[in-house]
Amino acid sequence: MQSISQILAEELGKKPEHVQNVIALLDEGNTVPFIARYRKEMHGAMDDQDIRTLADRLAYLRNLEARRQEVKNAVSNQGKLTDELSAAIDEAATLAEVEDLYRPYRQKRRTRATIAREKGLGPLAELLYAQAPDCPVPEAAAAAYVDPEKGVVTAEEALAGASDIVAEIVSDDAEVRKALRELYTQWADIVTSAVKKEQEDSVYRNYYAFVSPVNRIPGHQVLAINRGEREGFLKVSVVINRDAAMGGILRRVVKKKCASTAFVEAAAGDAYDRLIAPSMEREIRSSLTEQADEGAIGQFALNLKPLLMQPPVKGFVTMGLDPGYRMGCKVAVVDETGKVLATTVVYPTHGERQKRECIEKLSALIKKHAVKHIAIGNGTASRETEQMTVELIASLGKDSGVSYAIVNEAGASVYSASPLAAQEFPDFDVNLRSAVSIARRLQDPLAELVKIDPKSIGVGQYQHDMPEKRLTEALDGVVEDCVNAVGVDVNTASAPLLSRVAGLNALVAANIVKYREENGRFRSRRQMLKVPKLGAKAFEQCAGFLRVPESEEILDNTAVHPESYAAAEKLLELCGYTRADVRAGKLRDLTVRLKAYGEDRAAAACGVGVPTLRDVVSELLKPGRDPRDELPPPLLRTDVLEIKDLKPGMELKGTVRNVIDFGAFVDIGVHQDGLVHISQICDRYIRHPSEVLSVGDVVTVWVREADEKKKRISLTMKKPKERT
């Protein structure tokens, strides 16, 4: 039997020694970001996602191994564990296969078969099921088991009880179930229909008469069907050709023709109809749901990463607008660091006079605080607020330099009402906290969004139907990867942001903030060891991801880990540079000098591997860099469109807000996001929109259709052919 590391190496296409190293590192308590970034020589430069995939699969295989042992122990305690069964359990590749093998030995609730056994009909069932050449006629054999005292009055009753026992034996047969599972997976259909014949129109109307092969149904349809069934709109079944299914069973249970063959065939039919088919339907639907959940969770994670990694709009005073009708539009002005300068509430939707007053009030705030950007939440009353903002910018004059952006406000209200927001802004109304959050989302999306439960950010589909624990694990992993990829300024970061750094938790993060408040700014990475509860192991994990711009040690403001400082010093020496050259940015020829010296030779001289050496070089060339700065900036606007302004063929710039299985929603500056169907994304075939698009991408689109009444906008990313 293969070891777990060998199985993982084959499945992931990695070298066995690299897989073994990662397993050892995980078992030692190292975090995924730390392993991915600072132990590259040990794992062949796997990225964060590779290591998380390995860790998830490792947990499954270890759970499988533990379950194998539990099952063998349970069967052994019954005195029924044979060498053959033990080997079969060891070879089982999935938990389902292990459970199939255990099924005949599992403690069962009282069934028809157990009742028949209590009546002494077990030997009769075994005699007939054995199908020996000299097997007697079932009716004659049954006559010997008639016993009124045990409740068996006639031979027919004895045969009925024996049939129940044989049906259960067939149903519990691991080979039968394995064969049928494969048959269902390949040939079964999912069939749905409306609960009522004359059912009203609903979002599930496409499934009122729907058929799809089990092995081809997309995950988003599985989730839609499940929800439609839960809400009472749909009836769902798994359908397969019964003759084909029975053929698969009979080939395994019917032996040479004998007197009991017809009896066994009938019992097998009963086993299929009463026991196996319902069980298979549950199993297939559960499997489809599990696959759909994993796909949706994976897509959610895929969408979340680019949203968190959107380039920040740094260094500008920003105004946040949280639109609303009845309660007005909440306003917050924050400085370059996110500190609140002013708050107010205006009522641009309450009438023309109130809108003019709103423009005057906001204009005064913009001039007083030198606001450069306005962030508008995309929720209720967003379109009216955007129109007011365009008029506001126009009133400031063409040379004002003020622009605006629509910000996805999903989760802002959740944050505003949270204990964290109350602690951060104890004197602010809940709605004003939301305006602050919206402004900060434009300035630094990552730092602000980490304060919100990732499930509330709204870049997935059917997220409320997902297994909560699994969804949370996946999304928390994405947040952790993003935070550590960017790095965190230990002197300005909030406790929620610090808690996402590898090796830190909420308690240690709070202690860092408290230490900073009591002792002033950190002056070095090493000083963090004075923080309560931040021990040597935690420091090892987190140090490389924390930045200390105020430190005299310039490497403290880079992603170079303290364990590699000596290597960086040696590299500078080999290439003829000093620390002063690093501070002055005079390392432009570093790569040239390193190439001339020889990369392998330099790595050996520095006592590190080539991957670590390359990372050190990258950090020395751009100390304190933010990887998000290399991405396209967010789309800032000064004008607004309405859906009635859209015409087929019109070319627009837009921001991808969500990527789903059948396309992507794009914000084109109209209140309603437009849909680019998967067929309209590019000219080549793609299996999923995520192959081409990510949340936050700025794309060029053309209008295909705009239905003002239904508020639907259809877009294409394929450039229309010019008419001649």
What's the pLDDT at 641?
Answer: 66
pLDDT score for 629: 78
Of the two residues 392 and 668, the one the predictor is more confident about is 392
- Give me the residues paired with residue 333 across strands: 319, 342
Dist. CA 569–CA 547, nearest whole Å: 19
Q: Is the pLDDT assigned to residue 722 strictly greater than 60?
A: no
Q: What is the pLDDT of residues 455-482, one digit of tens each?
A: 777 777 777 788 888 888 988 999 999 9
Residues 6+ apart with CB under 8 A from 423: none
| Least confident stretch, 35-49, 81-95, 248-262, 664-678 | 664-678
Whether the per-residue pLDDT at 516 is higher than 50: the answer is yes
Could you tell me the CATH superfamily of domain 316-459? YqgF/RNase H-like domain (3.30.420.140)
Asked if 692 and 659 count as a contact pair (C-beta separation under 8 A), the reply is: no
pLDDT band at 415 (very low <50, low <70, confident <90, very high): confident
Residue 490 CB neighbours (<10 A): 28
pLDDT at residue 115 tops 90: yes
pLDDT given for residue 426 in this prediction:
87
Residue type, 479: V
Flag the least confident range among 6-10, 85-89, 228-232, 472-476: 472-476
Lowest mean pLDDT among 87-91, 631-635, 697-701, 719-723: 719-723
Q: What mean pLDDT do residues 531-538 have?
A: 96
At 177 the pLDDT is 94
562-598 pLDDT, tens digit each: 999 999 999 999 999 988 888 888 898 999 999 999 9
* Residue 640 pLDDT level (bands cut at 50, 70, 90): low
Looking at residue 591, its pLDDT comes to 93
Which residues in the chain are classed under CATH 2.40.50.140?
643-716
| Cβ-based neighbours of 622, under 8 Å, separated by 6 or more | none
Could you count the other beta carbons within 10 Å of the beta carbon of residue 468? 10
CATH superfamily, with its number, for domain 4-105: RuvA domain 2-like (1.10.10.650)
Is the model more confident about 627 or about 193? Answer: 193
Average pLDDT over residues 216-226: 94
Q: What is the 3-state secondary structure (H, E, C) of 540-568?
A: HHHHHHEECCCCCCHHHHCCCCHHHHHHH
Describe the strand order of the beta sheet including 189-194 as a list of residue ranges: 209-213, 189-194, 234-239
Residue 696 has a CB neighbour count (10 Å cut-off) of 23
User: What pLDDT was estimated at residue 236?
Assistant: 97
256: tokens are 């040479």
Contact 545, 559 (CB under 8 A): yes
User: Residue 723: pLDDT above 70?
Assistant: no
Of the candidates 453, 475, 457, 452, the one whose C-alpha atom is nearest the C-alpha of residue 378 is 457
Architecture of domain 643-716: Beta Barrel (2.40)
Report the share of the chain in percent with pLDDT over 90.
70
Q: What is the mean pLDDT of the chain?
A: 91
Per-residue pLDDT reduced to its tens digit, 429-460: 888 899 999 999 999 999 988 888 887 777 77
pLDDT recorded at residue 724: 36
Cite the residue boundaries of each domain of the chain with CATH code 1.10.10.650.
4-105
Where do we find the tokens 């403001």? 557
Closest alpha carbon to 432 in 325, 345, 364 = 345
Mean pLDDT, residues 266-275: 96
Q: Are 548 and 491 in contact (CB under 8 A)?
A: yes
Cross-strand bridge partners of residue 666: 656, 674
CATH 3.30.420.140-classified regions of the chain: 316-459
**Which of 407-416, 427-436, 534-543, 616-625 has the highest average model confidence (pLDDT)?**
534-543
Q: Per-residue pLDDT tens for 641-655?
A: 678 888 898 888 888
Mean pLDDT, to the nearest integer, of 207-224? 94
Structure-block tokens of residue 15: 């070298």
